[in-house]
Amino acid sequence: MKKNDIEHFFATLREANPEPRTELEYSSNFELLTAVLLSAQATDVGVNKATRKLFPVANTPQAILDLGLEGLESYIKTIGLYRSKAKHLMETCRILVEQFNGEVPSTREALETLPGVGRKTANVVLNVGFGQPTMAVDTHIFRVSNRTGLAPGKTPLEVEKQLLKRVPAEYAVNSHHWLILLGRYVCQARKPKCWECLVSPYCDFKPKTEAPARKS
């Protein structure tokens, strides 16, 4: 994708959705971190259903610790891999209380010391929670970046580095949300909905897909 097309690509996405937001529900950086930890190999809808019950009862590191492992599991058992996620979250809460005064740290290095927090999770927290221009490359962003020609790469890290180079600074903070939403609802894995896509004119994908024929 050419530089001029990248500008039009993001300008179009911004015009359609000026203030994009994560679909995970949260009201603090700790709730955000918890929701992202729980979202691995799970849907945002599924995570939100669980945290709507969990957060009113326990939404701080100490409150989660006070629940105990079995108590925490009882709230998140509808989420895939809930046992391992519960262990990671409990250990993360312990570290937050003991080393960070119960606060979520604002650096990648510190975040990645927390159990279950890899580069992608850290990037989400830094971007959504702290407004940093990071790129959390999930399956949607990886697919969209390669398919459109925006930021080709063979690995998530390669795509992340390309995005950091190629996305204009004024769009950097929100680009993570725009690309996820585009991949989730329009540029889907099996068949992209090119006929619905606002940024199709700037995309390198060929051939463009057409709308399904209407049944008579």
pLDDT in tens, 24-54: 999 999 999 999 999 988 899 999 999 999 9
Catalytic-residue membership of 77: no
pLDDT at 115 over 90: yes
All domains in the chain, ordered by first residue = 3-20+135-202 (1.10.1670.10), 29-130 (1.10.340.30)
120 part of the active site: yes
Closest CA to 77 of 123, 117, 38, 19: 38
Annotated binding site for [4Fe-4S] cluster: 187, 194, 197, 203
Q: Which residues are annotated as a binding site?
A: 187, 194, 197, 203
Catalytic residue among 5, 120, 204, 215: 120
Q: What pTM, to 2 d.p., does this model score?
A: 0.89
- For residue range 171-183, list pLDDT tens digits in order: 999 999 999 999 9
Residue among 2, 44, 85, 138 flagged as catalytic: 138
Tokens of 3: 């530089």
- Count the residues in the chain: 216
